[in-house]
Amino acid sequence: MNPSESLFLQALPAFLLGARDTIIYCVSSFALALLFGLILALMNSSRFVWLKAPARIFIEVIRSTPILAQMFLLYYGVGAVLANVNLAYLDNAWVAGIATLSLNYAAYEAEVYRAGFLSVDRGQTEAALSLGLTSEQNFFRIVLPQAIPLMIPPFVNDFIYMLKDSAIVSVISGTELTSVLDYWSSRHGSNLFPLYLLAVGLYLIMSLPTSYVARFFERRLRAAL
């Protein structure tokens, strides 16, 4: 067995664990992002300025700053303040990483929700209201069921983006696929090719099937419309 091959096999278990952690980061962050995003989208489409403006400001600020800056701010900035007020157990890469990813993506998901709600024909709402449904009933029974299929492809796309963006957790010493790559490549500096191949391959294995699923949903959606 040549050294590249043996390093490949030697590193494989660690990289698989890293990939598992990447998925844990992404699944938990994305679930939170969907929740926060829905809240933001509902606030954003409200009639009341006091609900609308804070959501708008949050979305604009998040979308105009790099996710790395947000992560540094939360991990080093807020983390240091938390450590000062006896909340040091919240000052770790898991909390900061998931908080950053979910808050960042919430701003993007809010826009997806908004586009989804807007794409439901206004006549549907008018008909529901004139039939005597309350606006809550209209939203949950009429608008949401029609909007959800339209929102699935952009959600899947954003999930793939999150799979890739979660790599920056490695910068704040979180443990996931890129940090495993970092660790191994700093110890095997003369033989990097198999390590890069492993990391790139695992990311492709995670992201390519997901993008095919997204395309499949998109095609089915077009056929249904």
Partner 1 sequence: MQQALPSTEPKRRSWLVILDYLFYVALAAALAGFLYYIYTFRQEALLITPYLLAGAAATIAISAVSMVLATIFGFIGALGRLSRFTVLRAIAAIYVEVIRGTPILVQLFVWYFGLSLLLARLGFSPYAVAFQFMTVLQNNSLVPDTFNGIFYGIIGLSFNYGAYLTEVFRTGIESVDKGQSEAALSLGLTSSQALRRIILPQAIRITIPPFTNYFITLVQDSSLLATLSVLELEQQTYALAFPLINSNIKLFVFIFGALFYLAICYPLALLARYLEARMAVAY
Contacting positions for partner 1 (CB under 8 A): 47-50, 53, 60-61, 63-70, 72-73, 76-78, 80-81, 83-84, 126, 129, 160, 163-168, 170-171, 178, 181-182, 185, 189, 192-193, 196, 199-200, 203-204, 207-208, 211
Tell me whether residue 69 is exposed, middle or buried, using C-beta atoms within 10 angstroms of its C-beta: 0 to 12, 13 to 18, 19 or more: exposed
- For the bound state, the minimum distance from the C-beta of residue 80 to partner 1, rounded and expressed in Å, comes to 3
Is 50 or 89 the residue whose CB approaches partner 1 more closely? 50
Is 6 or 211 the residue whose CB approaches partner 1 more closely? 211
Q: Which residues contact 168 (CB under 8 A, 6 or more apart)?
A: 67, 68, 71, 178
102-to-92, 95, 143 alpha-carbon distances in Å: 16, 11, 25
Q: Which residues contact 215 (CB under 8 A, 6 or more apart)?
A: 153
- For the bound state, the minimum distance from the C-beta of residue 170 to partner 1, rounded and expressed in Å, comes to 7
Q: 144-165 vs 93-119: helix axis angle to the nearest 10?
A: 150
- For the bound state, the minimum distance from the C-beta of residue 61 to partner 1, rounded and expressed in Å, comes to 6
- Nearest in space to 69 (alpha carbons), one of 96, 36, 41, 47: 96
Is 35 or 68 the residue whose CB approaches partner 1 more closely? 68
- For the bound state, the minimum distance from the C-beta of residue 125 to partner 1, rounded and expressed in Å, comes to 9
Is 35 or 219 the residue whose CB approaches partner 1 more closely? 219
